[in-house]
Amino acid sequence: MFKPSSFVRCLALGAALVPLSSTAQECKATNAAYEISQDEANQLYNCLAERLAALPENVTGIPGVPDYRDWEVVSTAPLPSATHGSMLVNHIVSPEAAALYKQWEQMSGKKFPPGAILAKESLMIDSDGNTSPGPLFLMEKTAAGTAPDTDDWIYSRIFTDGRIQRTLGPGSANLDFCHDCHAATIDQFDAMFFPPERYRIETSQD
Ligand code: HEC
């Protein structure tokens, strides 16, 4: 009998064994990003996992990279993110950020310590259902006074070709829009938006 789960395992195994060009063919979405189920989003993520993990290999000097690959994933599946280019994203938290982030809206008024980092991997789905790794997004809390215009948050966007944009670093102005939006929650949630509730892992708060 055909079992979807073993089919997925086959795809994952195939991804490890075949060249990238044919891997890309296999990681095909059957729904648009907005209609995708959590199961399908997770299958696509697993299918692209190796290529996503390869993304930061040439990136040096950015705190949290490549360490984020060992951190806790706090979303139950990659979720459609209208604010980050209509892609699927998953939310990942550094050990310094985890306890407070997982309080979700209950964190009200508290601040993350310097060194706390939030990461989001992204996957893109084109109109034909073809998928590919997208940029990596990072927010890093720095010591008071380090980045006064962005409430001491340093934003980074790392593209699949290795290009880096970073607050106070290369292409900083291209990231002004990040904090323009994230600042909306600065007082209550220290610039966090959190995944929608149905995409949050269970925590002791729930
Ligand atoms: C128009 C508003 C908007 C803009 C612009 C924006 N974000 Fe976000 N961001 C969100 C929302 C909403 C979430 C939570 C849901 C999601 O992931 O889509 C989020 C989540 C995040 C998170 C996870 C932490 C959290 O808030 O829960 C990171 C990291 C992040 N964004 C980085 C960035 C970076 C880097 C940029 C700029 C390249 C950026 N964002 C631009 C709205 C925005």
Strands (E), 9-147: 72-73, 79-81, 87-93, 117-125, 131-133, 136-141
CA geometry: angle 94, 191, 166, nearest 5 deg: 65
The β-bridge partners of 90 are 121
All structural domains of the chain with their residue ranges: 4-199
**Cα gap 179→74, rounded to integer Å:** 22
Q: pLDDT tens digits, residue range 50-95? A: 999 887 777 889 999 999 999 999 999 999 987 766 699 999 999 9
Residue from 120, 189, 190 whose mutation best tests the ligand 1 pocket (most atoms within 8 A of CB): 120
Å from CA of 191 to ligand 1 middle: 9
Closest C-alpha to ligand 1, atom 5: 178
Exposed, middle or buried by CB within 10 Å (0-12, 13-18, 19+), for 152? buried
For residue 180, which atom of ligand 1 is closest to its CA?
A: 5
Distance 131 CA to ligand 1 centre (A): 21
Distances (CA, A) of 58 to 26, 41, 109, 118, 159: 26, 27, 37, 20, 11
CA-nearest residue, atom 36 of ligand 1:
178
Residue-wise pLDDT for 124-172, tens only, equals 998 888 999 999 999 999 999 999 999 999 999 999 999 999 999 999 9
Query: Which ligand 1 atom is the nearest neighbour of the CA of 165?
Result: 38
- Is the minimum distance from the CB of 73 to ligand 1 under 6 angstroms? no
> Residue 5 is encoded by which pair of tokens?
């789960």
| CATH class given for the domain over 4-199 | alpha beta
